[in-house]
Structures are given as C-alpha cells and as structure tokens.
Amino acid sequence: MDFKDYYQTLGIAKSASAKEIKQAYRKLARKHHPDVNPGDATSESKFKDITEAYEVLGNAETRRKYDELGANWRQYEQAPGGPGGGANPFGSGWPFGDGRWTVNMGGAEARAGGAGDPFSDFFHTFFGGAHEPQRRRAPRNKGRDVEQSIDLTLEEALHGVQRRFSIATRGQARTVDVKIPPGVSDGSRVRIAGEGEAGVGGAAAGDVFLRVRIAEHPKFRREGRDLHTPVDVALTTAVLGGTVEVPTLEGPSLTLKIPPATQPGQVFRLKGQGMPGGRSHGERGALYATVTIEVPRRLSDEQREHYEALAEIERPGKSGRKKRRARSNA
C-alpha cells in the first residue's frame, strides 16, 4: 500500500500541535461530510481520508510511531505484540468497514456501530446538534418559478391596476388577484410570492413573475419617468405669442403660455405631469411638450389677403419699415 502523507491530507505542518491538528480536522470534516454533500463520491472519499489521517495524528502514540517509522508504521501495528494485540485498525484501508468505529478527539472518544449511520452520528458527536445536517430524508427543493406576461395601457401603468389573472401551474389553471403598482415600466417583472409550482418534500412553492408589456400610446412617448408629447401651435400664435392646450395622460388638459417668436421643435417642460417613480411612487417625472407649427391647409379670402400683404412686406427691398422711413424723410 502506498504511503499516505497524513499531514498533507490535513493541510498542516509536521510540527503542528495537537490543537492545530484537531482544528484542521474539524474544518475539513465539516466541508466534506457526506451528509453535507449527499451523493458526492469525491467528497465522501475525501472525508474518509481526512478521518483516517486524524485517527492516526490525533493520537499521540500512533502519531509518534507514524513519525518514527514512516511507511512501515502499519507493519509495526500488525506485528505480534504490537499495540492492540495484533489487531490492525486500518488493515482494510478504511477503519469503519465492520460498522463499528472509534475516533479519538484529544481524550474524548466517539463510538458508533451496528445499523446506525456512522456519518450522521459522528457529525452529531463532534459538531453538535446545531450543526447536524438533515439525516436520510427526502430532498427539499423549492418549487419552480413560473413566468407569464401581462399587457397594460400607459394609463394603467400610471395609476396602477388590480387584475384577476389566470395562472397555469401544477397541471391546472388558477385565478389570482394581482395588484400592479403605479409606475411600472415596460419589461419589468411583478413577483407574486408562493403562487408557482409546488415544492418537493415540504419545501416552499415557487413564485410567479409577470413580465409587463405596455402598449404604445397614440399621443405620449415614455422615457423613464418622463413623458413626451407634440403640441400643435398656430403660426400666428408662434409669431405673436399666446396660449395652447396641452393634453395630459390623466385626462384634463393644461394651458401652456407660448412666448412670441416660438420656434418649431422648441420644448416646454411641465413639472410633475410624468410617471410616478421612487420608493413611494410619489415622485413624478415631467411632461415635455414639443412645439410643431400648424400651417393652415385652407385660407379664407381675408386670411389670404393678410398673408399676401405680409409676404409683400417681407419681400427684399420692399419692407414696410423702409417705406415708413422714406415717407418720414419726405
């Protein structure tokens, strides 16, 4: 049998004290115990190795023989008159093969045997009930989460809405009341706790996530908490100034003052007329109104006459200002 470096197995120096050996063993045993890693053959093998290493190094007498004889220490243990009257505690390479085993923890021994589970009994003895893993019981797995979509209008996203929603889980359709908070955005997810697939072994059920889809609005475009909308301004109002009505998502329009010489594409900000946001949903964004100049498609005779007069005035070399100056000089 190949020589096993038990110091390397426990990750300690050959000069390690009994306390350091014990600490190293406890740390590794917690990590690789089969009850902590069910079904993991690598961890179980590692656990066997570190337990074997501690059984030797944790006992002052066997450690001394191991240090003095190196690879031959097992033969010493098996020789007639050797410790244990010729009994080889590691003859099989694994000390717990007969179902009865003893581990020394610096004076304290843990003994188990028979039909019990040595791993669980061992773990309870040395790490206490607070750290005892669940023993040989059905796995507990949280239920699967379910994701569905929900369609909203922009107005519903503004105010929030309560819907009765059909959810298909656990092989059947169910209806639940869903409260959508104000200010949800397109693509966001609303969580309904415990309404997903049932858990396994008594574990909690999964959750339902509703992915929000907000329909495009004919008048408003959303950017975060802000809304954008075009506002038509008559040509004369843009030139001379005046007022226009700006629609809002909540319904009532607002009166907006247009200063003289307003240009196409000019943007006016209406504070607090956007979407709610923030933790309290009380902080609302703004509504941005972008000016579009409304050019009349049809003109009355009187309007045409005035526009023609204006065009005559604005014609190069024939401005009304120059004519007035000429008359005043006369």
Farthest CA pair distance, the chain: 145
Distance of alpha carbon 120 from its chain centroid, rounded?
Answer: 35
Q: Cα separation of 324 and 128, whole Å?
A: 107
CA distances from 172 to 82, 93, 167, 168, 196 (A): 71, 55, 8, 6, 12
Q: Are 52 and 96 in contact (CB under 8 A)?
A: no
Taking Cα atoms as reference points, which of 181, 168, 252 lies closest to residue 212? Answer: 181
What integer pLDDT is reported at residue 137 of this predicted model? 62
The closest alpha carbon to 187, from 224, 143, 229, 227, belongs to 224
Q: Residue 296 has what pLDDT?
A: 86
Q: Which domains does the chain have, with CATH numbers?
A: 6-131 (1.10.287.110), 146-214 (2.60.260.20), 221-294 (2.60.260.20), 296-330 (no CATH)
Q: How far apart are the C-alpha atoms of 16 and 53, rounded to whole Å?
A: 13
Burial class (CB in 10 A: 0-12, 13-18, 19+), 64: exposed
CA 178, CA 92: separation in Å to the nearest integer? 63
Query: Tens of pLDDT along the chain (330 residues)?
Result: 567 888 999 999 989 999 999 999 989 988 888 777 877 888 888 888 988 888 889 888 888 888 887 766 666 555 444 444 444 444 444 444 444 444 444 444 444 444 445 455 555 545 555 444 555 566 778 888 888 888 999 999 999 999 887 777 666 777 888 889 999 999 999 888 888 888 887 888 888 888 999 999 999 999 999 999 999 999 999 999 999 999 999 988 999 999 999 999 999 999 999 999 755 556 899 999 999 999 888 989 998 998 889 888 888 765 545 444 444 444
CA distance 88 to 186: 72
Q: What confidence score (pLDDT) does residue 124 get?
A: 52
pLDDT at 165: 79
pLDDT of res. 2? 63
Structure tokens at 60: 């002052």
Do the bridges between strand 208-214 and strand 287-294 make them parallel or antiparallel, or are there none, so unpaired?
unpaired
Q: What is the pLDDT of residues 21-73, one digit of tens each?
A: 999 998 998 888 877 787 788 888 888 898 888 888 988 888 888 888 776 66
CA 11 to chain centre: 37
